[in-house]
Amino acid sequence: MAEKKTAKKSKSKTPQTLVIVESPTKAHTIEKYLGPGYVVKASVGHLIDLPKSRMAIDIENGFLPTYRIMKEKESLVSTLQKECRGKEVYLATDPDREGEAIAYHLARMLGLSLNDLNRIEFNEITKSAVKKALDNPHKIDMQMVNSQECRRMIDRILGFKLSKLLQRKIGSKSAGRVQSVALKLICDLEKEIKNFVPVKYYEAEAI
């Protein structure tokens, strides 16, 4: 009787390393670069923010902010929390203060230690740049995180207090950390133009 041979079923390996970037397009490209053993997901920007309905900053007690998971990101946060279980996690958000803050909030939501070397950065989406970043992980830069948080709180304080005042007084839509200063520069220049007094002058050339 001929011996029957059965083909061995290949077991698919579950990725052991999770890399989180901001852009879904980047995630797809980077996952192709890294190959088997890696899964790459996108945060699609910030996942938490100050709630829109109130100031959410305790100005009287050290400017303590109260953050909330953005409603449209709740299911994504849940997905990332499930995805990171049993995996090594690298936070590859953008290399700027906004990206650093996103990495920090991801670490908090996913239960990662801030002492871990789990932050990676690259300035170009190439295979060599991504591999080099993975070979040189570092801690989350808390000074950058604090810088972003300061920027966000100034936006909120100015926006909440000045916008309401301007709406009552002059019917303006909003005020802000950047737009208000830019508007003042424009107004100052317009005043200079209006107040300019033309003066006749003559040029003489001689040989």
> For residue range 49-99, what is the model confidence (pLDDT) as tens digits?
999 888 999 999 999 999 999 999 999 999 999 999 999 999 999 999 999
**DSSP alpha helix (H) spans, the chain:** 24-34, 74-83, 97-110, 127-135, 142-170, 179-195
pLDDT tens, position by position, 149-207: 999 999 898 888 888 788 888 887 778 888 888 989 999 999 999 999 999 999 999 99
pLDDT tens, position by position, 99-145: 999 999 999 999 999 999 999 999 999 999 999 999 999 999 999 99
Q: Which of 27, 62, 46 is nearest to 148 (CA)?
A: 46
DSSP state of 119: B
| Cα–Cα dist 131/27, whole Å | 14
Residue 10 DSSP SS3: coil
Q: Which of 97, 90, 80 is nearest to 141 (CA)?
A: 97
Say how far residue 15 (Cα) sits from the centre of its chain: 25
Backbone φ and ψ for 154, nearest 5 degrees, come out as: -60, -45
The pTM of the full predicted model, rounded to 2 decimals, is 0.78
